[in-house]
């Protein structure tokens, strides 16, 4: 580059409450295994030098592009449709003209602009946040790979294509979609657009999802436990109904597993539907239905559903605190998992085989043994098992993806979220606005019924 001064783990769990594989983890504060957003250090820290106030402002060195590197960039742009992006977005004609003019400020400016725009879209996605409906996942890739650092590495190595390719999502599904795009004729515009939309959605997520993680694709109605990007176990899910109770896209952290949970009924039901006054005036009904009702001095009722077979959260809830009050939990209405269409909840994600999932997560992430966990479940008492190793969970929205059997398929656009993304691709590229998540109002979806 020239400067010009200006646990891998085997799981054998077949639940009749018989678990065969446990992971020994050190006790203590939870270790967060979310991918770090901080760049890796490249040098040994040295003591700070005394602060010196310069007499004149220091100029930032400008990055200089050679003709050869600019030509490499042009080649990447001309072939970027293979990544589901649009070559014209990165001004190839202006870059070609600047190359013809030879080295100098004009080439530096145009190549720098084209490169920066391209890596922004490869790293963060071309779709701006205003077109990502209910997308509250914060992508940390820009913190790990800031644009200036990526450009410096590319020019130092003279591997422009390699630097750009390194930003592509590492999830196998992205490569599968890319392969699908390569074999889909250009005449099949509808299918190609669907592929491009979903390739871009992978770019909205962190490039590295972590070694162990949970991922649920809302339109597929499935949750996967994943290790090294391989599905270890999958679970059927029930997700939010379309409309105000649609499940948002989130990236959260599982900090604990709650067995035999209680459910504090929201005031929208306690007061709005008169449940509090009704149960308070009929203690026998409250006891029969498993509710504990208290009344404060100001007349406010608090209704808490106790653990048991009728509890709205079932026998397990993953503790993943978030401002939306969205959780993964069990349900007493397990017969609904037999339905093909399962957008039936108030926003939370219900999962089948919930006790199995909870015990698996607790074995992987807590200091409890299988026998201890079985006793906790059998006790019927509210118990929160804290994690000594926390796990990321991604609630995503893909309308074309590989299913749990590894086959590429399409899923119903439950919440009509494809259209805004497609419209953004049809419009001229917008400059990156710095937004890191949706600015839509957060709707607290705290009713599992």
Asked if residue 431 is part of any domain, the answer here is: no
The candidate with the shortest Cα–Cα distance to 229, out of 384, 394, 430, is: 394
Asked if residue 265 is part of any domain, the answer here is: yes
Question: For the chain, how many structural domains are there in total?
Answer: 1
Asked if residue 289 is part of any domain, the answer here is: yes
User: How would you write the pLDDT of the chain (449 residues) with one tens digit per residue?
Assistant: 444 443 333 334 344 333 333 333 333 455 554 554 433 333 334 344 344 444 444 445 578 999 999 999 999 999 999 999 999 999 999 999 999 999 999 999 999 999 999 999 999 999 999 999 999 999 999 999 999 999 999 999 999 999 999 999 999 999 999 999 999 999 999 999 999 999 999 999 999 999 999 999 999 999 999 999 999 999 999 999 999 899 999 999 999 999 999 999 888 788 888 989 999 999 999 999 899 999 999 999 999 999 999 899 999 999 999 999 999 999 999 999 999 999 999 899 999 999 999 999 999 999 999 999 999 999 999 999 999 998 999 999 999 999 888 899 999 999 999 999 999 999 999 999 888 888 888 877 656 65
Asked if residue 94 is part of any domain, the answer here is: no
Asked if residue 9 is part of any domain, the answer here is: no
The candidate with the shortest Cα–Cα distance to 147, out of 112, 179, 100, 192, is: 112
Q: What is the CATH number of the domain that holds 216?
A: 2.40.440.10
Asked if residue 445 is part of any domain, the answer here is: no
Domain encompassing residue 295: 212-396
Asked if residue 108 is part of any domain, the answer here is: no
Asked if residue 338 is part of any domain, the answer here is: yes
């Amino acid at each position: 580059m020239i400067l010009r001064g200006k646990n891998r783990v085997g799981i054998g769990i077949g639940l009749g409450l018989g678990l065969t594989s446990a992971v020994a983890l050190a006790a203590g504060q939870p270790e967060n295994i979310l991918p770090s957003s901080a760049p890796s250090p490249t040098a040994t820290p040295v003591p700070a030098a005394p602060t010196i106030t310069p007499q004149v402002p220091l100029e930032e060195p400008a990055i200089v592009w050679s003709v050869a590197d600019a030509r490499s960039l042009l080649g990447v742009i001309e072939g970027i449709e293979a990544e589901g992006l649009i070559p014209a977005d990165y001004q190839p004609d202006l870059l070609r003209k600047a190359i013809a003019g030879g080295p100098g400020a004009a080439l530096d400016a145009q190549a720098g602009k084209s490169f920066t725009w391209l890596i922004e879209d490869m790293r963060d996605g071309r779709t701006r946040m205003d077109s990502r409906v209910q997308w509250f996942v914060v992508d940390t890739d820009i913190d790990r790979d800031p644009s200036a650092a990526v450009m410096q590495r590319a020019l130092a190595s003279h591997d422009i294509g390699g630097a750009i390719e390194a930003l592509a999502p590492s999830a196998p599904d992205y490569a599968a979609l890319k392969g699908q795009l390569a074999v889909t004729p250009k005449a099949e515009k509808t299918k190609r657009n669907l592929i491009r939309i979903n390739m871009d959605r992978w770019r909205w997520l962190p490039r590295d999802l972590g070694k162990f993680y949970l991922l649920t694709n809302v339109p597929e109605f499935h949750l996967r436990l994943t290790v090294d990007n391989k599905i270890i176990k999958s679970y059927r899910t029930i997700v939010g109904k379309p409309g105000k109770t649609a499940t948002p896209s989130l990236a959260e952290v599982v900090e604990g597993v709650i067995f035999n949970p209680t459910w504090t009924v929201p005031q929208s039901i306690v007061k709005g539907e008169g449940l509090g006054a009704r149960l308070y005036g009929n203690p026998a009904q409250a006891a029969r239905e498993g509710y504990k009702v208290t009344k404060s001095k100001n007349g406010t009722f608090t209704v808490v559903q106790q653990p048991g077979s009728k509890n709205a959260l079932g026998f397990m809830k993953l503790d993943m605190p978030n401002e939306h009050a969205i959780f993964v939990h069990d349900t007493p209405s397990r017969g609904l998992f037999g339905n093909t269409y399962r957008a039936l909840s108030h926003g939370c994600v219900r999962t089948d085989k919930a006790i199995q999932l909870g015990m698996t997560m607790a074995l992987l992430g807590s200091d409890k043994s299988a026998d201890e966990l079985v006793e906790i479940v059998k006790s019927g008492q509210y118990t929160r098992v804290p994690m000594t190793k926390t796990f990321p969970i991604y609630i995503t929205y893909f309308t074309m993806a590989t299913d749990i059997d590894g086959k590429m398929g399409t899923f119903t656009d439950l919440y009509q979220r494809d259209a805004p993304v497609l419209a953004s691709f049809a419009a001229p590229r917008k400059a990156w606005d710095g937004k890191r998540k949706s600015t839509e109002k957060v709707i607290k979806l705290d009713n599992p019924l």
